[in-house]
Chain A
Amino acid sequence: MIYIYDGSFNGFLCCIFDSYANKEVLTAICRDEDFVPTLFASRAIQTDRDHANRVLRKIVKCSPYTAELLQKGFLTCLPDKELYLYHLVVKLLKEGPGFLRNFSDETLYPVLKAVRHLQGEVHLLKGFIRFSELGGVLGSEIEPKNRVLPLLRSHFCARYQNETFFIYDRTHKEALFYAAGKAVIRPLEDFQMAPPDETEARYRLLWKRFYDTIAIKERYNPKCRMTQMPKRYWGTMTEFQNADYFKAQSSSAAAPAPAAPAGISGPGTPPEHGLSAPGSDP
């Protein structure tokens, strides 16, 4: 049986709930936007907060660790992650939490591997994210493989608690906004960073110079650098940008950037759209 859900975590939990309620074994769990009609039987699942909470409560009762794995596993880029997580829950409910000790267990291992990949990426991005200051707001862009924003939130909100900042995730087209102690993650279709002003360009240049100077020529080791910092991160890092990135464009700094989306009216103003409903969590 193929279940189709709305793509939210609660929707996924409802799939688990309904599979037990209908006594059906799932062969695939699809987001509604990815679903391609097939000849196999399929069922669209309605998201019901109560059902989702019941499933989560039960899992937390059996094993809080699995609940954490589910939440993190749902953020990973593992293909068919829903099905892997579903199998994990089924095994947990059938056998109890004993098998979770064995990291090489065939149900647990793929999930664990994906979660480790996610956590590795989060750890690297904590260092590799680069902010640009534009009119008092710190902004940055990233291109991660996994949905890292929910896990980056607490780190950056604690560190820059007196700042206003946002992080735009180009891959998943969503952004984390933070201002005045409140953080939200909102979908954002398109975003273009405004060009830097004088001060920003100066600090970018200072950093680039620091980066170029700190390397010891006699120890040049590009392979080691690439192992530690894969090239896919370089695109959004200040030290690897071309000369244009370090040029101040004073004329456009005053006017709002033409491509700035409706959500944030310009680089200078705090993101009001994002902060209108701080309680809701995507």
Chain B
Amino acid sequence: MDVLEKLTILTDAAKYDAACTSSGGNRAAKKGYIGNTSTSVAGCCHTFSADGRCVSLLKVLLTNRCVYDCKYCVNRRSNDTRRAAFTPEELADLTISFYRRNYIEGLFLSSGVFRSPDYTTELMIRTLRLLRETYRFNGYIHAKAIPGTAPELVEQLGLLADRLSVNIELPSEAGLKTLAPDKTKSAILTPMRQIQARNCQNKEELIKYRHAPKFAPAGQSTQLIVGATPDSDFHILRLTQGLYDRYHLKRVFYSAYVPVMEHALLPAKDVKPPLLREHRLYQADWLLRFYGFRAEELLDEQHRDFDTRVDPKCSWALAHLEFFPVEVNTADYETLLRIPGVGVISAKRILSARRAGRLRIDDLPKLGVVMKRAQYFLTASGKIPDGLRFTPDSLLRSLIAAERPQLPQQEMVQLSLFDAVV
């Protein structure tokens, strides 16, 4: 089998992994080495695939042979699909050649479980070592830590990679038991805890010894599949919050479940992936990380799922109308961040701009405030935009109308004279 064919099979098998970021590392170029990691906060996207997702790293599996039989996965043991495996040399050559042509920012190496977690991790370590030591590759590497791997191997992997990730896959233990019988919650959380502890320890080492080897300097991330199990958004968001609080994850990725097979325990194959739900979860995830929201504020036992018509921040604002309007000339940073349509950048710009003089409504769009949402929730020098009239009832309708063009449109259906009147 030639490399082109292997690449096709192993990319196809890896594409359902959502994470493809190159942010978080800031390693400068080194003499005699090729590459560095992106200095930009947002990482660097090298292209966008036809589904609109960023392609930053060469995302492949080392092999799609797998001893596990997770029901939702295309690479499960019982699936009749073509199997392939890269040799470490092929993969290292591919990475370097792509990197030199500026196709990619680095390598995202994941793998099916071949023989055992330890054996697979050893193969991955061999590939990464070849890249780092023989090819002197200094760019970004994201490696998957496979649940059940020996701690010593995770340690070695972390010293070679920039970011490690352990996939939680399903948001509840019950889901894991039914759909991924070979995985357990504790097997997933053990390496996660180890990476977090080692990361903390590494920070201290780096303070004492400037040249101490860095352990996964870009931190760790994880991924959840949304829509394969009946878990609610509230449950997922609280889980996410726990991961950020207790495991200091950099990112939690959500992957809308794409039905790849027919199974009694899974959604039917003609179900569309819940993309809008995934989108709302990402929006809420941002609110947790950058806007100072807590999961319990956004959802509760009565409202267990997000309103798909408006974004989570608007939903929160509509439920807390007593908080508004906010006067942009006097409100503090945390309060500004609560206004729908005001983000981290525009809030900081407001803070800076109002030291130069009082802000008027006309100034706000220039500072990056999205007025179609924000206009209902703020005042500038005591004024709201001219001619704006609304009541709490019309507010929801206006916000939904503002949001609608962004949402996927319903398919047009030809009306028929003979349809039954509903």
Closest to B58 in A: A210
How many pairs, one residue from A and one from B, have CB atoms within 8 Å of each other in the complex? 153
Given A160-B34, A215-B50, A228-B45, CB of A206 within 8 Å of CB of B101 = no
A159 CA / B48 CA spacing, docked (Å):
22
Given A133-B100, A162-B32, CB of A220 within 8 Å of CB of B50 = yes
A222 CB contacts on chain B under 8 angstroms: 50, 52
A120, chain B: closest CB distance, angstroms? 11
A206 CA / B11 CA spacing, docked (Å):
11
Contact indicator B102/A140 (Cβ below 8 Å): yes
Residues 78-112 (chain A) with a chain B CB within 8 angstroms: 98-105, 109
B356 lies within 8 A of chain A by Cβ? yes
B94 CB contacts on chain A under 8 angstroms: 206
A221 lies within 8 A of chain B by Cβ? yes
A205 CB contacts on chain B under 8 angstroms: 4
Interface residues on A, range: 35 or more
Contact indicator B7/A206 (Cβ below 8 Å): yes
Contact indicator A102/B357 (Cβ below 8 Å): yes
A239 CA / B55 CA spacing, docked (Å):
12
Taking a contact as CB atoms closer than 8 A, the residue among A99, A131, A161, A215 that contacts B101 in the complex is A131
Given A109-B366, A219-B273, CB of A130 within 8 Å of CB of B15 = no
B197 CB contacts on chain A under 8 angstroms: none
A66 CA / B352 CA spacing, docked (Å):
16
A213 lies within 8 A of chain B by Cβ? yes
Taking a contact as CB atoms closer than 8 A, the residue among B3, B38, B52, B275 that contacts A206 in the complex is B3
0/1 string, A199-234, CB within 8 A of B gives 1:
000010111011101111111111111011100000
A197 CA / B50 CA spacing, docked (Å):
28
B341, chain A: closest CB distance, angstroms? 16
Contact indicator A158/B36 (Cβ below 8 Å): yes
A76 lies within 8 A of chain B by Cβ? no
B103 CB contacts on chain A under 8 angstroms: 130, 207, 238
A123 lies within 8 A of chain B by Cβ? yes
A104 CB contacts on chain B under 8 angstroms: 353, 359, 362-364, 366-367
Closest to B9 in A: A213
A127 CA / B44 CA spacing, docked (Å):
6
Given A123-B40, A160-B34, CB of A105 within 8 Å of CB of B356 = yes
Residues 56-90 (chain A) with a chain B CB within 8 angstroms: none
B51 CB contacts on chain A under 8 angstroms: 215-217, 219-221, 224-225
A128 lies within 8 A of chain B by Cβ? yes
Contact indicator B352/A206 (Cβ below 8 Å): no
Contact indicator B15/A216 (Cβ below 8 Å): yes
A138 lies within 8 A of chain B by Cβ? yes
Contact indicator A228/B7 (Cβ below 8 Å): no
Contact indicator B4/A209 (Cβ below 8 Å): yes
Contact indicator B8/A209 (Cβ below 8 Å): yes
B94, chain A: closest CB distance, angstroms? 7
0/1 string, B1-42, CB within 8 A of A gives 1:
001100110011011100000000000110110111010100
A254 lies within 8 A of chain B by Cβ? no
A10 lies within 8 A of chain B by Cβ? no
Contact indicator A159/B35 (Cβ below 8 Å): yes
A43 CA / B58 CA spacing, docked (Å):
56
A129 lies within 8 A of chain B by Cβ? yes
A146 lies within 8 A of chain B by Cβ? no
A59, chain B: closest CB distance, angstroms? 19
B105 CB contacts on chain A under 8 angstroms: 127
Contact indicator B101/A101 (Cβ below 8 Å): no
Given A109-B366, A213-B15, CB of A103 within 8 Å of CB of B349 = yes
Contact indicator B59/A221 (Cβ below 8 Å): no
Chain B interface (Cβ < 8 Å from any Cβ of A): 3-4, 7-8, 11-12, 14-16, 28-29, 31-32, 34-36, 38, 40, 44-56, 58-59, 94, 97-98, 100-103, 105, 256, 258-259, 272-273, 275, 349, 352-353, 355-357, 359, 362-364, 366-367
| Leading 8 A-B pairs by shortest Cβ distance | A224-B52, A104-B366, A102-B356, A104-B363, A219-B51, A215-B50, A215-B49, A221-B52
In the complex, 12 of the A-B residue pairs with CB atoms within 8 angstroms, ordered by the A residue number, are: A103-B353, A109-B366, A123-B40, A203-B97, A206-B98, A216-B51, A219-B53, A219-B273, A221-B52, A223-B52, A225-B48, A227-B52
16 other contacts beyond A104-B353, A163-B100, with CB at 8 A cut-off?
Answer: A102-B356, A126-B38, A126-B44, A127-B102, A130-B103, A161-B29, A162-B34, A203-B98, A206-B94, A214-B49, A216-B15, A216-B53, A219-B256, A222-B52, A225-B52, A239-B47
